[in-house]
Structure 1
Amino acid sequence: MSLNVIQTDIPEVLIIEPKVFGDDRGFFFESFNAQHFEASTGVKRTFVQDNHSRSARNVLRGLHYQIQHPQGKLVRVVIGEVFDVAVDLRKSSPTFGKWVGATLSAENKRQFWVPEGFAHGFVVLSEYAEFLYKTTDYWYPAHERSLTWNDADVGIAWPIQDPPILAAKDAAANKLADAELFD
């Protein structure tokens, strides 16, 4: 079973559409199969942790990364809709400081592959959203960092009207110019 892989403006960040089988009873799809994921994307990773969050409309989580023990993330939405973003924090990358985003929803069943070396975040567009993600390394609070969501040097075009609802750590996040970065 192949996956439809959509390239983004940052080659390592991918949008993945699973093959969905549906009829009048509902639908079925494999949300993850290591062999199909690697064959379709060329990405070979071992995932060690699954996370599930629920957030209300206009909650913005992120932009998070771990400076040590960096995490690759395979993310998706099972209820609602979010705008999901990856920012390249690899100083040696030709796309350093650039971002890409995708709308993920329960309806479109898209997944977003965010590799190690990127900050990641999302804002909830629906009344609420439930967000699932697999990570390639464990969460280490001592190594977690946040990049500010509205840094003009990054210029993310968040599809929101009102200021987002942020956690205290995200409200105090660093701008790109002051952030710890990857080589």
Structure 2
Amino acid sequence: RDMAKVFAWMRPNDLIWSYFVNNYLLGKEPPAFDILYWNNDNTRLPAALHGDLLDFFKHNPLSHPGGLEVCGTPIDLQKVTVDSFSVAGINDHITPWDAVYRSTLLLGGERRFVLSNSGHVQSILNPPSNPKANYVENGKLSSDPRAWYYDAKRVDGSWWTQWLAWIQQRSGAQKETHMALGNQNYPPMEAAPGTYVRVR
């Protein structure tokens, strides 16, 4: 709840005052909106993890080689040579698009960056059936996000189809879907959620 409040106060006109006026003062029922319902599904964070996230936010140790060490190994994102496909939302108030762009530049390998036309959630939940979907892309990544944006081309439609083609080029042969749980060596034990959940 505390994290959700922080995010809400980043956009108080949209995420606090509009509900106060429309729902509390005017007595209107909020319209059904699938993304807000999904957004309301909060996850509890342990206090230590919350603190670590704030430290990451403040110091950003991954932005320079060796700034973070894990089990004695210094981390250098340039050594990550697997291809990457990064997506940002132009109206994202939580993760500004130019920060995502700069994060893309930290990685090694072949990098692709796409800027979707929405905010934090809707830029990702942007299926091909969405008539308002569009994105911008520029195959040449420069060190300046604004220069990249200036030369980028607008594409109508969802970025999902581009990502699907990208991931299919990097995937192995398709295998037949297993329609039953388990196999000869590992038979299914019982119906979900299982006794190991209930006994805890």
TM-score, with length taken from structure 2: 0.21
More helix by share: 2
Rg bigger for which structure?
2
Q: Which has the higher contact order (CA 8 A, sep 6+)?
A: 1
Q: Which has the larger strand fraction? A: 1
